[in-house]
Structure 1
Amino acid sequence: MAVLAPNSCVLYRELCLRDPWMQQSNGGGCSLVSSRGGGGLAGVSDKVRTKRGGWRGEVKVEAFWQDVSRPTSIEMEAISGIDDLDEILRQSKDLAQPIVIDWMAAWCRKCIYMKPKLEKLAAEYHPRIKFYFIDVNKVSQALVKRGNISKMPTIQIWKDGEWKAEVIGGHKAWLVLDEVREMIQKNMR
């Protein structure tokens, strides 16, 4: 039986109401012991426990509903040198498409924490804006100076081949993302 429910508890409740075995003389009392939290996840397996402590089978929730028309995250491309940056800026200028560059370092915990969040943000703006990252330890200092980078993570927006604005991410990730969204909105016009 395939049942689509918003979470495993709703599915369990539906099974309790429909299954006469669960409504027998023990008062119909049963509880749900979830092996993982939350519904809507693919492959969540929950065990049904009766009031008297016995186990009854497994309830498998195979529902996973999300908007698959858009990806949930887009992997940012790496910029490996000055020539690479020049080519990307030339392409963005030709296409009249702004780009976002995340200046980061592999040793920077906040940078590592921010990268997947920026990749989710990239999915929101795809294909209007492309997102890139530069690991400052893997490129020349001339490239780092060109970006005028002093702290990391620094998230910059470039438009028409020129630097337009930046957010230096030394505070909470959700605040940084809000500031990046605001920066993008101001420079999309």
Structure 2
Amino acid sequence: MTLPATGDATFGRDVLAAAEPVLVDFTAGWCPPCVMVKPALERIAADLAGRLRVVTLDVDQHPGTAARYRVLGLPTLALFVGGELVTQLTGARPRAAILAAVEPHLAAAAAR
């Protein structure tokens, strides 16, 4: 599964205006930990389809959005619910740790 990409020009539409929660993977092609976390993110995207959307944003190609959300380390995973940043993780994490950070926010979003 290939995760869809977003960028500076499409971030508002793809992430901030999305009906469902969106997990943004701030990444770069030269980043080994980013490559390590990609399979976990692909599995999360498949497992939580309909409850969570996962997209990538290349910080080298789209530095404006990365700067706006103060992305200083890679990978950074940022969860947006209703257009608001609700949690952010920096560094490669296993699937279980990502889910532990995301799941409480998905439950709250579903209750809205």
The total of aligned residue pairs comes to 107
Q: 1:164-183 maps to which residues of 2 (within 5 A)?
A: 164-170=86-92, 173-174=93-94, 177-183=95-101
Distance 1:137 1:98 in 2: 24
Query: Are residue 152 (structure 1) and residue 79 (structure 2) matched?
Result: no
Deviation at 1:108, TM superposition (A): 0.5
| Residues 89-144 of structure 1: CA deviation (Å, up to 9, x unaligned) | 3431xx2x1100001110000101211221011111002111000111111x3211
In structure 1, stretches of 5+ residues that fail to align are: 1-73
- Check whether the contact 1:151–1:168 (CA below 8 A) recurs between aligned residues: yes
- Give the helix-richer structure, 1 or 2: 2
TM superposition score normalised by structure 2: 0.86
- 3-state DSSP class of the match of 2:17? helix
Distance 2:83 2:55 in 1: 14
Q: CA RMSD in A?
A: 1.5
Match of 1:88 in 2: 14
Amino acid at match of 1:179: A
Using CA pairs under 8 Å that are at least 6 residues apart, name the structure with larger relative contact order, 1 or 2.
2
Amino acid at match of 1:80: G
In structure 2, stretches of 5+ residues that fail to align are: none
Distance 1:117 1:183 in 2: 14
Moved over 6 A (4+): none
- Check whether the contact 1:102–1:134 (CA below 8 A) recurs between aligned residues: yes
| Residues 31-50 of structure 1: CA deviation (Å, up to 9, x unaligned) | xxxxxxxxxxxxxxxxxxxx
- Whichever of the two has the greater Rg, that structure is 1
Deviation at 1:75, TM superposition (A): 2.3
Q: Sequence identity of aligned pairs in percent?
A: 21
- Check whether the contact 2:7–2:65 (CA below 8 A) recurs between aligned residues: no
